[in-house]
Amino acid sequence: MEPVKVGLLGLGTVGSGVVRVLARNADEIQRRAGRGIRIVRASARDLTRERDCDLGGITLTSQPYEVVDDPEVQIVLELIGGTGLARELVMRAIDNGKHVVTANKALIALHGNEIFARASAQGVTVAFEAAVGGGIPIIKAIREALSGNTIEWLAGIINGTGNFILTEMRDKGRDFEDVLSEAQSLGYAEADPTFDVEGVDAAHKLTILASIAFGIPLQFDRVYTEGITRITREDVGNAAELGYRIKHLGIARRQPEGIELRVHPTLIPERRLLANVDGVMNAVLVRGDAVGPTLYYGPGAGAEPTASAVVADLVDVARDLTVDPNNRVPHLAFQPDALADLPVLPIEEAISAYYLHLRAADRPGVLADITRILGERGISIEAVLQPQPAEEAEDASIVILTAPVRESHMNDAIEAIQRMDAITMPLTKIRVESLK
Ligand code: HSE
């Protein structure tokens, strides 16, 4: 059988990784797909740049439209990233009747609804396994392997750069900027690394996971997003003393009134498997009503781990070429006309426990006033820690762990605490999840 012909957009870190993996594992891939998969044409902005792969047999161009308009190309592989040119090229490829494989989480999170509608109308597939969790087959697991379940919640470490930074800061006491530069040089970080450290990249990925888990449209603009830039070494140390680790999590949870969608630093008990996912590794914990908790772990970024997911999509699409479009796995796991209009809840309605860190004048009655404010609002205290102050310190550091409470009640309590004369610094609030 003739090999499937692929047009590649982008020859960066992941693009070169895909070329290498397709060449190295050509025989295994052919045995699985029933035919070869061959890149026939590729575009890159700068054709003079050295690439870390053998481009023999591939027609190169600096004009990406030549790839999507090439009549020979059956699958367009989009690896240029961003949501401008990438969106135009993907739409054009679909209009040309080509299938698409992409690793572009921003594109799917922001424009997926429109892209999938157009693809369904054209009878083509858009595959995006590499968009979430790098090499972890998390899309396939939720979309296909858990399809007998009602998904209750999921929580994941879904940004490798952020996890790498938090791990190095905790284990080696390194500075934030220094670790970020290393993540960039290793090819983990986004073109704009603020996407990693401010949680935008994780919010893109959570948008996609929530959609396939709950059968709701993609709603990136409804995700509550907080990054890791305000986490201090003091908070990391306090968390450790209380038996917790701080991880940057994306959480999607079904509540009776709607769906919680949130990305933020989170204290999790140190004995949980997720608390021990370090470095660039990602992990997603998914709880289904039938199966219970399931955990998916693996490298969340990097050339060949991401290529692993991309090539699996190419194999899937190669097999799908002869399948009636109506019998293919739906893009968002649920049939397009069966997506639910469950509301995404505002963050004020989320329910979580809290870590509060405050500095207050060191005098009798201050802790009593704080606990009274919490008690009056029905907020139960789980633990209190008063780290030994530095000799010269005039105020005291107080750390409180609360039981789960609605966020609006906690915000109300925090406002009242902040108004106390004794409070000397803005209070730090970090959510706590038991992940039971
Ligand atoms: N910048 C992303 C990360 C790459 O660090 O996880 C993979 O999506």
| CB of 198 closer than 6 angstroms to any ligand 1 atom | no
Beta strands in 203-350 (DSSP E): 224-225, 244-255, 258-269, 281-288, 292-299
Q: Which residues are catalytic?
A: 205
pLDDT band at residue 1 under the 50/70/90 scheme? confident
CB neighbourhood size of 233 (10 A): 12
Calculate how far, in angstroms, residue 306's C-alpha sits from the geometric centre of ligand 1.
Answer: 10
The answer to whether 315 and 37 have CB atoms below 8 angstroms apart is: yes
Are 287 and 166 in the same domain? yes
Residues 39, 16 within the same domain: yes
How far apart are the CA of 436 and the centre of ligand 1, in A?
27
Residue 343 lies in a domain: no
Look at residue 76 and tell me if it is in a domain: yes
- Kindly report the CATH number assigned to the domain that includes residue 171: 3.30.360.10
Q: What is the CATH number of the domain that holds 361?
A: 3.30.70.260
> How far apart are the C-alpha atoms of 22 and 40, rounded to whole Å?
12
Instruction: Tell me the best of 138, 166, 180, 188 to mutate to test the pocket of ligand 1, counting ligand atoms within 8 Å of each CB and taking the most.
Output: 188
Q: Which of 356, 348, 350, 357 is nearest to 404 (CA)?
A: 350
Check whether residue 153 and residue 210 sit in a common domain.
yes
- Say whether both 366 and 330 belong to one domain: no
Same domain, 285 and 149: yes
Domain shared by 182 and 213, yes or no? yes
Query: Is 197 in the same domain as 327?
Result: no
Count up the domains in the chain and report the number.
3
CA of 46 to the centre of ligand 1 (A): 23
- pTM of the full structure: 0.96
Cβ–ligand 1 distance for 104 under 6 Å, the answer no
For residues 100 and 27, state if they share a domain.
yes
DSSP state of 423: B
Q: What is the pLDDT of residues 86-105, one digit of tens each?
A: 999 999 999 999 999 999 99
The verdict on residue 273 lying in a domain is yes
171 and 226, same domain (yes or no): yes
pLDDT of 73 over the 80 cut: yes
308 in the same domain as 253: no
Let me know whether 88 and 165 are in one domain.
Answer: no
- 156 falls within a domain: yes
408 and 426 belong to one structural domain: yes
Helices in 96-232 by DSSP H: which ranges?
A: 105-122, 138-140, 160-172, 176-185, 194-197, 200-214
As a whole number of angstroms, the distance between CA 64 and CA 78 comes to 10
Print the domain residue range for 263.
Answer: 138-299
Residue 187 scores a pLDDT above 90? no
For residue range 229-285, list pLDDT tens digits in order: 999 888 999 999 999 999 999 999 999 999 999 999 999 999 999 999 999 999 999
Domain-embedded: residue 53: yes
Q: Residue 7: CB within 6 Å of ligand 1?
A: no
Q: Of 280 and 173, which is predicted with more confidence?
A: 280
What confidence tens digit (pLDDT) does each residue in 339-361 have? 999 999 999 999 999 999 999 99
The CATH number that applies at residue 23 is: 3.40.50.720
